[in-house]
Structure 1
Amino acid sequence: MKTIGDLDSGQQLLVRIDINAPVENGRVKDHSRFERHAETISELLAEDHAVALIAHQGRPGRDTYVSLEQHAEILAGHLETSVEFVPGLADDQAITAIENLDKGEVLLLENVRFDEEELADRTPEEHAEAKFVQTLSGHFDAYVNDGYSVAHRAHASIVGFPEIMDAYAGTVMEEEYRYNTSLQTRDFDGQVVMVLGGKKASDVIDAMEHLEDRVDRFLLGGVVGELFLRASGHPVGYDIETDIYDQYYEDCQEKINQALDKYGDRIELPVDLAYRAGNSRAEHRINELDEKTVDYLDIGQITISHYVDIIEESDAVLVKGALGVFEDELFNSGTVELLEAIGATDCFSVIGGGDTSRAVRMYALDPKAFDHLSIAGGAYIRALTGEPLPGIEALQKN
C-alpha cells in the first residue's frame, strides 16, 4: 500500500476515518478513535494539506444513527484546532465548503450513511459510480483511508474512491494492519498465547483454526468460556436471566466440540467463575457445581492467577474480547488483571476488540505498556482469522 508518507505536501485530501461512537440520550460520547485519527490528521496538517473528512455514525433505524455535528466538536478538541462541520455530503453546500478549504484547514462532511448509496450491495467498480463518489472525487488530489476499523466493510466510501483516485493508507490504517497481522509475519522464540473472550464462539474458533500453527495456548473466558465449559460437560453456559447462551450454543455446538477435540490440550478453560451475591462478588468452583443457578459475570481468582502465570512465561500475547463484565468494578478483575499482567511482562502484545481497548481506557491502564492497542473490532477479527479486508484490498489494488 502507498501511505501518506508518499504524498507530496500541500494537497487537497479526502480522508475516510472511523469515529463511530456510543450515543447516550442523544449525546455522542468521546472514544479512543477520535484521539487516534486526530494524530493522523495532525500529520497531514503539518504537511500543509487541506483535509476534508468523511465518516459514518450508526446504521439506519438505530438510535445511534445521528448527524456528525457533535463529532466535529469532539474531534476539534483532540486536534486543538477548529473543524468546520458541513451538514451535507456532496450537495452544493458541501462542494462550496470544499472549494473554500485552505491548506492547513479541516472540515467534516455529513454522515456518509445518510446517502443510501453508501450501504448498497455493489462491487467496488459499481460503488465507484455512486453519485457522491463521482462528485467528491473531482474536487481532491488524493484519497486517504485511515479507517482500519471499517476496512472489513465493502462500502462506497471505502472501496469506491480507490477505483478512480490515487489512494493512500493513513497512519492508523498502516499501523493497525501491520500489528494485527503480526502473528503471520513475526517469529517468536518462546510461547505464543491468545486470550479469547467476548460472546462470539464462532470468531474464537475461526481464530483458533487460522492461527493453529502459530499459537501455543488459548486462554478462554467470557460467554465463550462458559460455552466451551458446557460442551466439556459442566453445568454452565445456560441462560438464567439472559437470553444469549442457549442460542449461541445451539448455533455453535458442533464447531465447539470439534475445536475441543482438535485443540483440547492447548485450550485453557476457567476453573472458577464469579457471580453477584447481594452487593458483593462471590465465586463458584466449576468442579463443585451440580447446576447453574446464577449468572456468572467474570472468571474467578484461581483462573486469573493461572492465566497470569501463563502470560508471564510467554513471548507473545494477543487479546480478543473481555473476560467478564468489566464495566462493573466487582467483575473487572479477569479483564483488568490480565491486561496488567500483559503490560508488565516483557512480551510482544497486541490488544484488540472494541471492548478490550475500552477497558484499557476505562481503568487508566498505560496504552504504551502494549506493543499495539487496536481500535478495531470486526476488522481485527477478520485479520486474525485470515479473512480478506475489502478496504485493504482496495488500497493494495490502487
Structure 2
Amino acid sequence: MAQRRSVLSSKTSRAALPASDAPEWEVISPGIRIGYRRGRGSYGRGGNWLAASRAPDNKRVQTRLGKADDLLPADGKAVLTHEQAKDAARAWVKGLKVGTDASPSLTVSDALDRYFEARSAEGMKAIDDARSRAALHIRPKLGSLRVADLTIGKVRAWRDGMVTSEKRLRTAKRAKEANKILVDLSDPEVIRRRRDTANRTLTILKAALNWAFNNHLTADDTAWRLVKPYRSTTSARIRFLSPDEQRALVAASNGAIRDLISAALVTGARFGELARLRVADYDVVNKSVFIAESKSGKPRHVPLPDGGAGLFARLVADRGAGEFLLRQESGAAWAPSTYNRSWKAVLKIANVQSVTLHELRHTYASTMVRNGAPLIIVAQALGHSDTRMAEKHYAHLAPSYVADTIRRLAPDI
C-alpha cells in the first residue's frame, strides 16, 4: 500500500491548513517530529518549522528550525523546504543525544579557541606554531563558519586553496613593491611544499574539530573526517653532513657558536632544547645530559661520547646550577634567530653549503645509524615516541642483510 503523503510536504497543502497557534505535527522518525505553525496573526508572512523530541533526561523539548518556504525561496539556513526541515530536525536531535554542550552556533574559530585552551592546559608542545598556522590559514577562510555547516566540499576546497592561492606578502614593503606574486604551479617542488603545508594545517583543523566532536560540542564529524591529506608530500631526502664536513664546521667556528655547534653534534638535540639547558642538567658522574622539555613532551637522558663529555665538563666548570649551559658571547641565553649571522659566517669559512642548524640533529642520527645503532636506540636518543620517523629518514642508511646480499650477488659491470 502506498505511503500517505504528508500534509506538510507542499506549499499548497500547507496553505490549506487553518491558521492556528497550535502546530501541525508530522512524525519523521521514532521519537522525532517536525511541526508547522502559521499563527492567527501571521497572515501573509508564511509559517515556521519546529522540531520536537525528548532530551536524554526524557523531558520533552522543542525548537524553532526556521521559516518555511511558503513565500521566500529556500536557502537551507533561515528558510527551509519540507525535506530540509526534516534534515535539520534530525541534526538537532542528534545534538541532543550527544549532550547538552552541543551547540548549532559553534563556529570553527570557537572550536579552535576551546581546543587550544584545553591543550595549553595539558602542556601541548608547539602550541604557538599551531596557533600561528590557524591564524594564517584556517581562521580567515573557515573561522566564521558554523561547524554544523561544514561540508566535505567546503573543507576540501579550503585545503586545495592553500596549494593554488597566491603567495602571501608578509610585509607592507613587499606588498607595496608587488601587487601579486604568482606561484609557479608547474614546479613539482613548489607543489610538494605547498601540499605539505596544507597537510600540516589540515592536521591542526582536524585535531580541533575532533576535540570538539569527542567533547560533545558538535554532533557530526563527517565533513572533515572524510577529507584526507595529500599523499607523498614530505621529502624523505634530508641533508646529512659527512665526518669531514662536521670537522670543518667545528674548525671554522670559535667561542659561543662553536660550543653550540659542538653540543648539537654530540647530542642530536633541537636548538630549543639546547637553549633551555641549565648547568644542573649535565650529569658529571654518568656523562649524560638531561633534556627536560622536548617536542614529544617526554624528558630524556642523552649519554655523551668522550669528546662530548669533555665539552660539557668545560661548560659547567665553576658555574651555578641554575645558569644557562650554552650562552651567547654576551653571556645572554640563546634565543631563536640569534645564531643566524654567526652560523652563516661559519658555513662560509667551512665551505659547507645548504645546511641548517637543525640538520646537525639529522647528522647525529645518520652517523649513529651508519655505525650500526638500532633504530629504536636512535629514536630514543632523539626523543621520538616510536621508530616511525627514524625508519622514514634513516632506515636506508642502516647495514642490512638484504642490502649486503644484493651488493654481493648482483651483476657488477
Same fold, judged at TM 0.5 (above): no
Higher Rg? 2
- Larger relative strand fraction: 1
Q: TM-score, normalised by structure 1?
A: 0.31
Higher relative contact order (CA 8 A, sep 6+): 1
Q: TM-score, normalised by structure 2?
A: 0.30
